[in-house]
Structures are given as C-alpha cells and as structure tokens.
Structure 1
Amino acid sequence: MRSELGLGDDVVVDVEGASLAEGTDDEFSDAVRALVAQRQQHDDAEAVERFRAELDRDGLAVEGGLVSVTDALCQANVDTLFVDAGVLVGQLVWTSGQPEQVSVEEADVRQLATGSAEVRRNRADEALARAAAVTGAYVVGDGLTLLQGVGALLRHRPDNTPLGEPASRRPSQRRFSRIRSCPPPRRRGSRGTTCT
C-alpha cells in the first residue's frame, strides 16, 4: 500500500510488534511514542549538525545571544531555534500582545507594538518558545552549549545577501529599522519574509 500511495519512509513507518486489537492499546502507544522520540532525536541531531556547519562557513547560524535571536524572531527569520534551558533560566525579555514581538530592549518592542498593546517583561524561555511557535520555527532543546542559552538557524540572511557572498562584502545590519514594514509571519514550510 505504501508504494501504491508513493509514500516514503519519512512519511510512513511500520509499527512492528504491536497491533490495534482490543487490549493492546498500551503496547501500540508505547511503540508509537518510541518511534516519535527516535525521529525527534534524529531531526534534532541533523539540526545541530547543520547549525555547526553554518557557523563554520559564516552562513545562516546565529550564536550572538538573545539580541541576535530575538531580532531574527521578530523578522520571522528563524527556521530552527536552539535553546539551552539551563543557561536561559532566569533571563527576561520584553514582549507585546503579538508573540513574535520579542526583544531584550523595551524600546524595540514598543516600536513594533501597535495601538495600545501592552508591553511587559516575560521569561525568555517562554517568550522565545511562543515566538518560535507563531513563526513556524522548529525548536531544539539539547545538543549545544550556547551564548546566553540561545542560537538560531535562519531562513535567509538578515541583509538578504546571497549565501555565496563573503561576509566582508555584506552590508552592515540595521536593527529594527528593517522590521517596521515586515509582512505578517508565514507558517512553517514558507521561505521566510523579506523586510524593507
């Protein structure tokens, strides 16, 4: 049936040794949970490897701490968010009523907030997770030691410079001045946004 539908191993997995027969719910559920955990570990390991590779080539990896990661989240430019919860505990960020509006600076969030939106301090781990969820970013919680407990793989370079161009030729980045005219964040699977 799998071949008739054209489905590969990344879409369909056979659960061996378990069935849906009456009285076997726990066995089947345990087998499914084990497969999901195995897939999660595989996906996380691939994301960590990609992050390391991008760091080495000055590509799409951001390891600059909360400032760089929150800037990228505001632009809906984070494909994968890496969180080192042990380091991130106790750190605070500013947020508004829109989860993707998050920053270490209150003034940055006030600039982004519309109308009478409430701007307040929140735990960084919770605020970053909400921003990642709203913008469709994948979250990895283990596998890296990170500055200020966060890092990110970007969907595209913040300055829209082609990936093959050397870092020395890239124009300098401008914080938040680019964000004001960003379209709303796209869902997972989209190729990010372009801010003007």
Structure 2
Amino acid sequence: MVGDRPPPPIPTADDLAASLSGRVRAILDAAEHDAAAIRAAAQRDADAYLQDARRRVDAFATGRARRISETADRLLAHAEALAARATRAEQAGRLRQNIDTLLDALAAAAEAIAAEAHRDPITLPAPPEPEHEESELRAVPHPDDEAAALVRAAAALLPGRPKPPEGPSPTA
C-alpha cells in the first residue's frame, strides 16, 4: 500500500548545493552557447553590410570618375574648337591657360574621388600641343556664362588650386 513506503530522505545541504551548482553550470553553458551563436550571426550581418556599402561606394566613385573623365574629354574637344577659331594669340594664350586651370581642377577632383574610394589616381588626357606657333584665333562668346561661372566657382573650392580670376569669362 501507499502508506507502506518510507518517506523520501531529506537531502543534505551538500546535496542541494551540488545539485544547484550543476543546474547553474548547465544554464551558464547554454547561455554562453547562445551568446556565441548571436555574436557569429551579428558578425556575418555586419560583414555583409560592409561589403554592400563598399560595393555602393565603389560604384558611386567609379561613376563620378567616369563622368569627370567624359566631361574633361568634352571640354578638351570644345577648347580645341574654340582655340581653332580665336583670332589673336593673346586670347588663345589666356583661353589655353584657363582651360589648363580647369583641367587641373578636374584632375584634382578625380584624384580626390580615387582617394576616397581607395583606388589608383585617374589620369586625364593631356592637352594637345599647338600645331603652329601662331594661329588664327578669334574669341567666341560662351553660350552659357552662368555654367562657366559655376565651373570657376567649383574649381576655386578644390584644395591646393589657385582661384580663377574674377569677372567675365576671357572668351566673352
């Protein structure tokens, strides 16, 4: 019968301490295992985020560098066309100097973009040497003086570059 069983023994303090110590150890081991798994997942997420951010920055820098290079090519082509039409050597010299200053500013911007993206510097094409000592040059007004003023202002903001002269464009 049920009443025939002896009552369970009362555990001693040492038995209780050993039992609790084992349970605490098991709980701590499980918590440390879970924490390690959470840290590993967080590290994977952070690495994926950084890779994605680097890809976006590289794409942005590559696009900016490409646009600067294309703009420099177009400016050089327009400069050559303007220089071919100018009538006085003095105006051609000023025009060439201003174009060289602008190309230097574009090159500095391209270098800054390359440095931000940790890439090799971008080299812009060198301006062609004039074919003749004297040429028939004549000034042609720029169709968009506001754009020229914006380019001069942007060039003046670049570090280590001389500020362009104030006033109207030398081709106007």
TM-score, normalised to structure 1's length? 0.29
Higher helix content, 1 or 2: 2
Q: Would you tell me which structure has more strand in proportion to its own residues?
A: 1
The TM-score with structure 2 as length reference comes to 0.32
